Amino acid sequence: MDEQTPEMNRNQIITWWASIIGVCLVIAFGSIFVTRAYLLRRDYEFKNWRPPHIARLETDLDAINRDGRKVSLGELRKKIYVAGYQYTDCPAGCLGMASVMKLLEEEFGDDPRFRLVSISVNPDGDTPEKMNTWVKEHGIDSDDWWFLTGDGEEIAKYMISEFKFYGTEKVTDPEKIAAVGEFAHDTRLALVDGEANIRGYYDVMNVQRGDQEYDRLVRELKMVLDPELKLSDFDLGIEED
């Protein structure tokens, strides 16, 4: 009986190690399978990604266009538009944003579904006549580009509650007013689809990543205009496995 003990111990050790190796192999193959499934799913979602529905304009906004005509955002249903917050007395930033929007007008202006909307941060100071003069002076005169003014309280409330823009603050420091203007306001652009859904916000005036934000806006605007387009249809400079 004692003579069989070493042999039994060896068999037990072999069985033990075989079990350990088997468990490790199961874990390894399981990890490979899970990782591969995750990568395939991520690749599929990346290639088939669409601009999300971030918010929705649940109510309408009545305003006055620069030509004196009474309009409402509801008139733009079935149109796809890019909207921003601006005002004519802004010393620099708003003109920069208008320049960005002009690039969009040059690229997409021939599409009858596309529109641009600039909404005044300072409706009390921006009369339709003043806005119309400002537009013509800066060469951004387009019938498909609304410049809206109206009731200041109503517009401010709408931009926060519906567009989800940041609240506006009045600047009091004279030096800051000279540099950035009388109002500190949201300088992002919003992309709105034909069903009044906000599909994206774009920080095109950001010093570090403004160019990338503009490129993202153009790409996602194309995707909203053409539902057949997928992210994989664009050259993002990412090598595929």
Q: Which residues contact 103 (CB under 8 A, 6 or more apart)?
A: 214
In DSSP notation, 42-53 reads HHHHHHT-----
Angle at 158 between CA 120 and CA 147, to 5 degrees: 25
Alpha-carbon Rg for the chain, nearest whole angstrom, is 29
In terms of average pLDDT, the best of 14-28, 51-65, 168-182 is 51-65
**Chain CA centroid to CA 90, Å:** 24
Looking at the structure, tell me whether residues 89 and 165 fall in a common domain: yes
The structural domain count of the chain equals 2
In a domain, 235, yes or no: no
**H/E segment holding residue 110:** none
pLDDT in tens, 11-39: 777 776 777 787 787 777 766 665 654 44
Looking at the structure, tell me whether residues 139 and 214 fall in a common domain: yes
Structural domain containing residue 111: 55-227
Q: What is the CATH number of the domain that holds 152?
A: 3.40.30.10
Looking at the structure, tell me whether residues 29 and 64 fall in a common domain: no
pLDDT the model gives residue 213: 97
Looking at the structure, tell me whether residues 112 and 30 fall in a common domain: no
Looking at the structure, tell me whether residues 97 and 163 fall in a common domain: yes
Looking at the structure, tell me whether residues 220 and 183 fall in a common domain: yes
Q: What is the mean pLDDT of residues 40-60?
A: 78
pLDDT in tens, 65-108: 999 999 999 999 999 999 999 999 988 788 899 999 999 999 99
Looking at the structure, tell me whether residues 73 and 140 fall in a common domain: yes
Contact status, residue 148 vs residue 117, Cβ threshold 8 Å: yes
